[in-house]
């Protein structure tokens, strides 16, 4: 877990009430070409406002840790920001049934403006730092990268030495997904890795 997870921080407050834009705090994103880049704000940036006068002082010590976060995939913010807001493309894929994966609450979040929130959905409602939420789904990537022959080209994006197999893929998993234990909605989560028309013999 990143040391920054110890911070008490509300995106809802800073994006909404304060009215900041993402690139004010995450300025390094525009030139970031690796998923492991640490694009968190510099500690001194927070103190511009949190100086005890404009806003209450805060402990920014966790931001001093610039250790890169481990990532299982390759990604360039710089390259993708040049595309603009991809939200409309994702919304179109959902509306026409091309999106691979469940979409219970995604569609409603794709009407927000800004290139960042197209992928980092829900940030404007986030009231705590949690690295496990508000990240893009693999199904998002496959809307544009539709030539990926999953599951046979994982290493196109994923590091070969990084474990990407879900924890629930145990020896007993074949019983769960072949005997009706999994619901139709749960089976949709298989599509981003296995494709829409996968068959048992493709893996076994």
d(Cα 27, Cα 122) in Å, to the nearest integer? 20
Per-residue pLDDT at 153? 83
pTM: 0.80
d(Cα 50, Cα 28) in Å, to the nearest integer? 21
Is residue 94 within a helix (H) or strand (E), and if so which, with residue range? helix 87-95
Q: What average pLDDT does range 97-103 have in this prediction?
A: 86
d(Cα 90, Cα 106) in Å, to the nearest integer? 9
8-49 pLDDT per residue, tens: 889 999 998 999 999 999 999 999 999 999 998 988 899 899
Structure tokens that stand for 165 in this block: 């197999």
The C-alpha angle with vertex 65 and arms to 165 and 74, in degrees rounded to 5, equals 35
Place of tokens 């989560």: 189
């Amino acid at each position: 877990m990143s040391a920054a997870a110890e911070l008490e921080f509300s995106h809802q407050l800073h994006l909404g009430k304060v009215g900041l834009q993402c690139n004010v705090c995450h300025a390094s994103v525009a030139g970031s070409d690796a998923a492991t880049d640490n694009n968190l704000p510099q500690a001194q940036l927070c103190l511009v406002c949190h100086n005890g006068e404009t806003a209450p002082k805060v402990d920014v010590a966790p931001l001093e840790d610039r250790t890169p976060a481990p990532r299982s995939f390759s990604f360039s913010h710089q390259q993708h920001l040049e595309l603009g807001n991809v939200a409309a493309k994702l919304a179109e894929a959902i509306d026409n049934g091309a999106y691979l994966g469940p979409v219970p609450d995604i569609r409603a979040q794709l009407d927000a403006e800004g290139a960042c929130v197209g992928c980092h959905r829900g940030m404007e409602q986030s009231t705590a730092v949690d690295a496990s939420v508000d990240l893009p789904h693999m199904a998002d990537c496959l809307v544009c990268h539709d030539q990926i022959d999953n599951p046979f080209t994982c290493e196109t994006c994923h590091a070969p030495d990084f474990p990407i197999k879900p924890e629930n893929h145990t020896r007993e998993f074949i019983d769960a997904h072949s005997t009706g234990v999994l619901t139709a909605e749960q089976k949709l989560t298989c599509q981003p890795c296995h494709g829409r028309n996968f068959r048992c013999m493709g893996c076994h």
